[in-house]
Structure 1
Amino acid sequence: MNVTTSFAEGSSMQRVLMNRLHAGGIPEATDLPLAVDMRGPRMGEIHSNAWFSSVNFLAYALNDKPFDLALNAYTTRVLVENGRAVGVSVMSPDKRTHIIRARNVVVSASTLETPRILLNSGIQGPAIGRYLTNHSFLLGTGKISRSQFSENIGNLSILKRETRQSPYQIQILGPDQYFSYQQFEEKVLPEQISVVYAAFGLVESRRENRVYLDPGERDDYSVPMIQVNFSYSDRDNAVINQMREGIIRSAASMGVALDGEPALFPPGSDVHESCTCRMGTDPATSATNRFGQIHGVSGLYVADNSVIPLLAAANPTNSTVALAIRMTDHIVLQSR
C-alpha cells in the first residue's frame, strides 16, 4: 500500500509549523502517514498513479490469472444451501434476475449496504447491522502569512495522533488546496494562506446504533431500504469538546488565526462508518469470526469497513485492506 511519512519531506512549512507544535506542548504531532507511491521510475516501471486505491488490485490480479467481472449487476441476495454460501442472486438494469454460482462469497458493499444484503438474504445474526460506529468530525480553517516560510514553501501534512487522554486525531493540511496538486498545475499562493484542521474523534460502539431493513420502503429492485438509528453518547460529546479545544490550541501554537469556531459536521460526514458486521468470537456480539466469515455460514465472508470490531480515531481504510488481504490468504489455504 506504499504507506509513507515522507510526503512533506523538505517542506519549510512542515518543518516550521511542526516545531511550533512541539514547542507548544503538543509532542504527539508527527508527519502524516499516507498511502501514496513516492517511488521513482526504475527498470522501466512508471509510478504515475500516486494515490493508493484498492481498485488497483483488480489490475494486479490480471497478472496472476484471468477473472470474470459482472458489470451493472445489482446484488439482491446471497444464496445459502445447507448452511453454506453457494452464490449470489443479481439483477441487471433491465430487472432480469441472474444467478452467479461460487464456492465462496465475499460481500464488500459498505458498512450500510453489506448488512442490508445479508438481512435481505434471511441470514440471521443478532449483531448484523448493530454497533454502527463512525467518527465525530470537526473541521476548522485558518490563515497564516506565507512570509513566515521560504519561497519554496512546500506542503503541510501533519498528524496530531490520538492518545488515551485525547482520544481524537487532527489532520493538519495546507497550504490552501495545494496539499496535493498536479505536476503541471500552476501553483498561485496569496499572502495569507489557508490551513485546514480536520479532527476525527473516538465514538463508542453501542448496540443501539444500527441499520435495519424497512419493509415498507423498497428500491427499484424490490430490495427493502434501510433505516439508520444513530446518536452520540455523553462520552462521545465529551470527546467532541476535546477536539474543539485541540484545534484551537494547535492553531494558537502554530500562529494560525482561525476563521471562526471549528464546525461539527453531522454523523456520517466522515465517511468512515464501520462495525455493522464486526468480527469476534461471540456470535451474540459479532457477525463474523476472526477471518471475516459469517458465524454459522460456511463460505460467506465480509471484507469492508463493517467487519472492523472497534473503530479508533484513525481512518480505517488501510486496516480494512489489510484485513481483506488476510481473509483472502485464509480462503486460499482453506481451498487447497
Structure 2
Amino acid sequence: MSGTQSSTDRTPTENADVCIVGAGPAGALVADRLAAAGHEVVVLEAGPRFDPEKREERMENHLRPGDDTPIWGMGGPRDAYTSSGGRYYPLNAARVKGVGGSTLHWQGMVMRLHEQDFRLDSELDVAEDWPIDYADLRPYYAAAEEALAVAGASDNPFAPPRDQPHPLPAFPPSYSDSLFAEACEALEITTHSVPNARNSEPTDGESACVGYGTCRPVCPSGAKYHALRHVDSAQEEGARVIDEVPVQKLEHDGSGERVTAAVYVTPEGETYRQAADEFVLAAGGVETPRLLLLSESEQYPDGLANSSGAVGRYFMDHLFAGVGGRLDERTRQKHVGFNTTESHQFYDREDDSRGAIKLECLNYAGPAPSDIAMDADSFGDDLLEEIRAGYGNHVAMGALVEQFPRAENRITLDRSRTDDHGNPVPEVVWSLDDRTRRTIERANEIQRSVLSEMGADIEWVVGPDSTGPAYHHMGTTRMGTDPESSVVDPDLRTHDLANLSIAGSSVFVTGGAMNPTLTIAALSLKAADAIDARL
C-alpha cells in the first residue's frame, strides 16, 4: 500500500493546483476526487502515517492489561488544550492526528441527515436553516455511500428518500437485537438496521468483517472504512501526501482576497511555504478554526475568514444518553463490536421543546471478559468462574442526542498556554442548555421503558448530569449565504477569500443526531466538484 510509507521528502510541491490541510476522511476524499480530475494535489498532514500492517499489534496493546500507552499517539505538548465553560470537554479522548484521521478509530456508523435537519428555522423557528437542503446532497450521499462501501438494508421507514439500495448487504441483527425487538414491538417502537461503513463481504482487497469486536479504537482486519483507502487512491492518481508537517498558519496576498501559502514545519524543524491556486482546510472541527485564528494578520486581526466573527463559534457535539442492566438469560454481549439495530422513530421534532434522538440497541453492553480479568485478583478456575458470573447477561440502550448551536459554545485560543511549536492551544468552551437536558431525559424515559419491558434489572443510567460528548466536532465554520453570520458559502468556499474552502463537520449549520461522517463525505465531494469547476 502506498499510504504506509512515511514521507522522506517534505519540501513543497512545485506548481500545485490544490493544497489540502488534513488527511482524514474529508481531505482524503477531496484529494482523490481532484487528483482523478487531473489536478496537481498536495496534502499536508500534521500527524504520522500509521502502518496498517500493525493493526493487530495495536489491538493487542489495547487489550493488554496495564498498558496505558495511547493507541494513536495522542497527548503531550503537541496536543495540549484547555477546557472551560459549564462542562469539561475531554478533547484528546477521541482525536487522532495522522494519515486517516478519525477513521482510524471511529465506530463506523453512517446515516444520512433527515430532511427536517436542514430546515429547523423554517419548520420550528429554532436554530438556523442550512443554505442547502436534502435534495442538494442526495446524489452526493449516494456517492459517499459508494465511496465508503456502506453495508445497509435500506429498511428505515423514517429515513429520507433514496434512489438506490446501499452498496453492500446489511449485517444481520445480533442475538441481543432479537431480545430488544420483542420489547420494542410490545411498546410500538419501530426498529431497523444500522448502515455501517464496514465490509459485510470482501471488497477491493479488504476483508469482510471478521468480528474481533474491537472496532473502537482498532479494527484489526481493515474491514471498517479508513481514509487510507482514498489517500492511496489519490496517490495513485498523482497526489502527494506529506506527513508530520503541522501547518502553522495561512498567508494571504496584499489584497486580502486570496491565500498564497500554507506555512508548515517538518520534524527536523525546517519551515516551508506551500503555494497553490486553491486551498482546502480539512483539519476537523477544532483544528480548522484554530488554524484560521492563528492566521491573524494586520488585515485580518481577528483571524482569517472571520469577518463574521463566527470562526470557532456555534461549537456543537452529540450527547450520549443510555440505560443498562441485566437479564436472567444470556445476551451474547460483545459478540459484535458495533450496532446493528436502532430506531429513528423519535428523531424528527414535533416542536421546539426538544432536539432529535437516535436510539441505539447496543451490542457491547457490560464488561468484556478482558475487562473482568483485568480487575480480578483470582487465577485459574477461580478467575474463570468470576468471568462467567460477571459476563454474558448485560443489555443496554444508547442514544445520540442533538445539541443546537449557540454562539457561546466555541473553540478559541488560550494564549496563556502554547503547544510544541509555540502556538496558543485550542480552548474548548462548552456547556449544555435546558433543551438538550430535556432531550436526554426523554431518551432515558424511552430507554427505561424498553429495558423494563424486557424484564431487565436496571443498573445504570447516563442522564443529563452524567452525559458526555460523542466527539463529533461540528459548527465552528458554519455554512450560509450571509457573509455577516457565516464563514463559508453553499459550495464551502469562504466568503472572505476566493480560493479557500473548508471540508468537514465544522461547516454544519445544525448537527441533528446522526453520526456525521457520511454528511462530511457528501459535502467533501460537493466541495471538490466546485473546486474542480473553478480550476
* Fold equivalence (TM over 0.5): yes
Paired AA for residue 261 in structure 2: G
Counting only pairs closer than 5 Å after superposition, residues 32-181 of structure 1 correspond to structure 2 as 32-40=194-202, 45-48=205-208, 49-63=222-236, 65-81=237-253, 82=255, 83-122=257-296, 123=304, 124-125=306-307, 126-146=309-329, 157-161=340-344, 162-165=347-350, 167-174=356-363, 176=365
User: Which structure 1 segments of 5+ residues have no match?
Assistant: 180-187
SS of the residue corresponding to residue 301 of structure 1 reads strand
SS of the residue corresponding to residue 195 of structure 1 reads strand
Hey, what does 1:182 align to over in structure 2? none
Relative distance call for 1:215 and 1:267 in structure 2 (3 A) is: farther
Hey, what does 2:435 align to over in structure 1? 235
**Aligned-residue identity in percent:** 23
| Residues 11-52 of structure 1 deviation map (CA, whole Å, 9 limit, x = unaligned) | 44433422321221222x2212212222346xx855343211
Counting only pairs closer than 5 Å after superposition, residues 14-33 of structure 1 correspond to structure 2 as 14-27=177-190, 29-33=191-195
Relative distance call for 1:154 and 1:53 in structure 2 (3 A) is: closer
Out of 168-177 and 283-292, give the one that drifted further.
168-177
- For these two proteins, the number of residue pairs brought into alignment is 321
Compute the TM-score of the two structures, normalised by the length of structure 2.
0.55
Separation in structure 1 between the aligned mates of residue 337 and residue 310 of structure 2, nearest angstrom: 47
Contact kept, 8 Å, 2:357 with 2:443, in 1: the verdict is yes
Separation in structure 2 between the aligned mates of residue 153 and residue 58 of structure 1, nearest angstrom: 28
Contact kept, 8 Å, 1:140 with 1:261, in 2: the verdict is yes
Compute the TM-score of the two structures, normalised by the length of structure 1.
0.85
Contact kept, 8 Å, 1:76 with 1:117, in 2: the verdict is yes
User: Which structure 2 segments of 5+ residues have no match?
Assistant: 1-147, 154-169, 209-221, 297-303, 369-386
Separation in structure 2 between the aligned mates of residue 242 and residue 233 of structure 1, nearest angstrom: 15
Hey, what does 2:144 align to over in structure 1? none
Contact kept, 8 Å, 2:259 with 2:497, in 1: the verdict is yes
Contact kept, 8 Å, 1:214 with 1:226, in 2: the verdict is yes
Separation in structure 2 between the aligned mates of residue 249 and residue 13 of structure 1, nearest angstrom: 17
Q: How far off its partner does 1:75 sit?
A: 0.6
**Structure showing the higher helix proportion among its residues:** 2
SS of the residue corresponding to residue 314 of structure 1 reads coil
Relative distance call for 1:154 and 1:168 in structure 2 (3 A) is: closer
| Residues 114-147 of structure 1 deviation map (CA, whole Å, 9 limit, x = unaligned) | 1010011121331111111111222333223445
**Structure showing the higher strand proportion among its residues:** 1
Separation in structure 2 between the aligned mates of residue 332 and residue 205 of structure 1, nearest angstrom: 31
Separation in structure 2 between the aligned mates of residue 246 and residue 273 of structure 1, nearest angstrom: 26
| Residues 172-220 of structure 1 deviation map (CA, whole Å, 9 limit, x = unaligned) | 12255899xxxxxxxx987742223222111111112111123332222
Separation in structure 2 between the aligned mates of residue 319 and residue 89 of structure 1, nearest angstrom: 29
SS of the residue corresponding to residue 25 of structure 1 reads coil
| Residues 88-133 of structure 1 deviation map (CA, whole Å, 9 limit, x = unaligned) | 0001233321111122111111211110100111213311111111
| Residues 246-299 of structure 1 deviation map (CA, whole Å, 9 limit, x = unaligned) | 221222233433222335577763111200001111122211011111112011
Relative distance call for 1:257 and 1:174 in structure 2 (3 A) is: farther
> Is 1:256 aligned with 2:456?
yes
CA RMSD of aligned residues (A): 2.9
Paired AA for residue 94 in structure 1: E
